[in-house]
């Protein structure tokens, strides 16, 4: 068999070390097809002023951790220059870029920088799926993969290796003679046909992940793909629409196979923590939950973290989670304004249901975080305070608040573009770092002030709210007051 080499690019946000299940599975698929795989990882390059974890620490959402304690610091080399050198020395037959919206500009820079080599390139991932017309305009992009990439990428490599035509592969758009050939979407892949993840392509530093104030050797596992819900602020609403006529996007991994992979990876990589990729971990059949709990406790037995929806939390499920070692759970609150939650976000869940979920979790010993989002279109300051007031009733251990980032694929992105809050080609910001939009009822500057003081409003009595409001402005006085309050908050709630 003719040698064939693929260079994958994990265009990642700076020092976000959690391994991604998607790239691990794609690498395994390629290797099973006899393809040699190498990965270029941007994680450890200084590509931003601040990391997402640092931003969340500064906003009083997570305990401070320091990768430098493990000798992990951003590298001094130039991320583009080093990539060009690797391509010129490795001489791959194909370059595959996996990028999300916030990292796509960097990914495009990398591909444009090696356009002179003539190596064919393909871009996949959420941004390529939902903005293919924008992505394929780049001179350094020759093909775009829409939707899932495992099968089309293997087919592409096999046809390239055999010297066959590669412009008629389902899921792939290709440039040819100045035209763009847009091939149809194939049905979603059967998860049972996919191999276990290949983690050998990752730098060993990628397994160190901050969780709950500690840095642990963490493994990521895909429990399901997609989401059974279609919240308008999430790109899963886009996947649901994209695959709607092909049977839908949401699928669940076989529990036995999932746990067996966890057990094997635990031994091979000396894992001490598990991160389960499941948009709503408890939204499944009771038999599946029970079987997972029994097998996980028996074969894996590591602390783990999950996400859940409030309406999926019941006393027996909480008991099961506690019994099998769940260390942390994030529950989606999103907004405390019921009208916004139901009619704008597509989350028809009552305050009563949310409060009941947190009441059930409070005495479990599991670290519970409330996930909140601010900055939705039409959302006002008063609506944000509805969220703050609901959080006060919930009394979570951790208060997480993200900016609404209108990523391509999310239904609300279309609303934001129609209203003129964001342009078609504008890259939405990292949801941890800053707002993406100025809106008539809520400026980005006001949103930034509310974002950093959100936990203060939740945790401290209303008698202090006038003082906390003075911490909002990004002025010398506001910054000084926020720093003082921040020190007090860490001592009171994060020690």
Give domain 5-52+74-182's CATH number out of 3.20.20.140, 3.40.50.720, 3.40.50.280, 1.10.287.3510: 3.40.50.280
What's the confidence (pLDDT) of residue 1?
Answer: 67
What is the band of 132 on the pLDDT scale with cuts at 50, 70, 90?
A: very high
Residue 439: band (very low, low, confident or very high) from pLDDT cuts 50, 70, 90 = very high
Over residues 274-296, mean pLDDT: 93
DSSP 424: T
Q: Which residues of 228-259 are buried (b: 16+ CB within 10 A; e: fewer)?
A: bbbbbbbbbbbbbebbeeeeebbebbebeebb
Dihedral over Cα of 481, 483, 487, 493: its sign: positive
Measured in degrees and rounded to the nearest 5, phi and psi for residue 105 equal: -55, -40
Helices 444-459 and 381-394: crossing angle, nearest 10°? 20
How confident is the model over 22-51, as a mean pLDDT?
Answer: 96
Span 460-495, pLDDT tens digits:
999 999 999 999 999 999 999 999 999 999 999 998
Q: Does 213 have pLDDT greater than 90? A: no
When pLDDT is averaged across residues 38-59 and rounded to a whole number, the result is 95
pLDDT tens digits, one per residue of 222-271: 999 999 999 999 999 999 999 999 999 999 999 999 999 999 999 999 99
Averaged pLDDT for residues 389-394: 98
pLDDT band at 211 (very low <50, low <70, confident <90, very high): confident
> Cα(131)–Cα(146) distance, rounded to whole angstroms?
9
Region 437-441: what's the mean pLDDT? 96
pLDDT in tens, 350-371: 999 999 999 999 989 999 999 9
CATH number of 223-459: 3.20.20.70
What is the average per-residue pLDDT within 96-106?
95
Beta-strand (E) ranges in 349-409?
367-374, 398-403
Query: For the residues 24-44, what does the mean pLDDT come to?
Result: 97
How many CA within 13 A on the CB side of residue 147?
24
Quote the pLDDT of residue 427: 97
Q: How far apart are CA 422 and CA 437, in angstroms?
A: 6
171 vs 218: CA distance, rounded Å: 32
User: Which segments within 179-270 are labelled E, that is strand?
Assistant: 179-182, 208-211, 214-222, 224-225, 251-252
What average pLDDT does this structure show over 445-463? 98
CA distance 47 to 50: 9
**pTM recorded for the entire structure:** 0.95
Q: Is 365 left (phi over 0), alpha (psi -120 to 50) or beta?
A: left
Domain limits, the chain: 5-52+74-182, 223-459
pLDDT band of 391, cuts 50, 70, 90:
very high
Summary mean pLDDT of the chain: 96
pLDDT digits (tens, 9 = 90+) for 140-175: 999 999 999 999 999 999 999 999 999 999 999 999
Q: What is the mean pLDDT of the segment spanning 114-136?
A: 97
Q: Report the interhelical angle of 351-362 vs 315-324 (nearest 10°).
A: 40
457 pLDDT tier (thresholds 50, 70, 90): very high
How far is it, in rounded angstroms, from Cα 450 to Cα 374? 9
The encoded tokens of residue 360 equal 């059930």
User: Coil, helix or strand for 358?
Assistant: helix
Residue 212 pLDDT: 81
**Contact yes or no for 224/252 (Cβ under 8 A):** yes
């Amino acid at each position: 068999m003719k040698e064939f080499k693929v260079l994958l690019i994990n265009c990642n946000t700076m020092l976000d070390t959690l391994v991604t299940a998607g790239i691990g599975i794609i690498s395994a698929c390629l290797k099973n097809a006899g393809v040699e795989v190498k990965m270029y990882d941007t994680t450890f390059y200084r590509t931003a002023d601040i990391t997402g974890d640092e931003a969340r620490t500064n906003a009083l959402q997570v305990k401070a951790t320091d990768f430098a304690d493990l000798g992990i610091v951003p590298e001094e080399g130039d991320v583009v220059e080093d990539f060009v050198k690797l391509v010129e020395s490795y001489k791959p037959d194909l370059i595959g870029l996996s990028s999300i919206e916030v990292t796509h500009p960097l990914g495009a820079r990398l591909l444009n920088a090696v356009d002179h080599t003539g190596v064919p390139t393909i871009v996949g991932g959420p941004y390529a799926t939902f903005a293919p017309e924008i992505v394929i305009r780049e001179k350094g992009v020759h093909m775009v993969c829409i939707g899932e990439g495992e099968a089309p990428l293997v087919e592409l490599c096999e046809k390239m290796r055999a010297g066959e035509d590669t412009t008629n592969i389902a899921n792939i758009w290709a440039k040819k003679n100045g035209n763009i050939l847009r091939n149809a979407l194939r049905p979603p892949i059967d998860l049972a046909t996919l191999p276990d993840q290949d983690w050998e392509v990752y730098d060993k530093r990628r397994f160190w992940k901050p969780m709950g104030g500690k840095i642990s050797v963490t493994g990521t596992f895909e429990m399901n793909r997609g989401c059974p819900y279609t919240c308008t602020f999430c790109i899963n609403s886009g996947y649901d629409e994209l695959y709607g006529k092909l049977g839908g996007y949401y699928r669940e991994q076989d529990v036995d196979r999932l746990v067996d992979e966890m057990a094997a990876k635990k031994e091979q990589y000396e894992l001490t923590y598990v991160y389960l990729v499941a948009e709503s971990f408890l939204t499944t059949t009771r038999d599946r939950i029970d079987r997972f709990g029994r097998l996980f406790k028996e074969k894996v037995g590591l602390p783990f973290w999950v996400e859940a929806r409030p309406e999926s939390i019941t006393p027996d499920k909480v008991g099961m989670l506690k019994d099998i070692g769940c260390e942390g759970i994030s529950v989606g609150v999103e907004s405390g304004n019921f009208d916004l939650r139901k009619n704008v976000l597509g989350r028809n869940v009552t305050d009563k249901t949310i409060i009941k979920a947190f009441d059930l979790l409070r005495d479990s010993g599991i670290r519970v975080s409330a996930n909140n989002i601010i900055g939705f279109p039409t959302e006002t300051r008063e609506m944000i305070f509805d969220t703050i007031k609901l959080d006060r009733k919930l009394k979570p251990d951790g208060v997480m608040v993200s900016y609404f980032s209108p990523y391509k694929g999310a239904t609300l992105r279309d609303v934001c573009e129609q209203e003129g809050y964001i342009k078609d080609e504008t890259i939405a910001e990292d949801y941890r770092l800053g707002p993406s939009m100025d809106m008539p009822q809520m400026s980005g500057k006001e949103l930034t002030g509310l974002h950093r003081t959100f936990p203060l409003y939740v945790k401290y009595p209303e008698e202090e709210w006038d003082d906390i409001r003075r911490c909002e402005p990004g002025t010398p006085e506001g910054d000084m007051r926020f720093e003082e309050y921040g020190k007090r908050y860490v001592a009171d709630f994060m020690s």
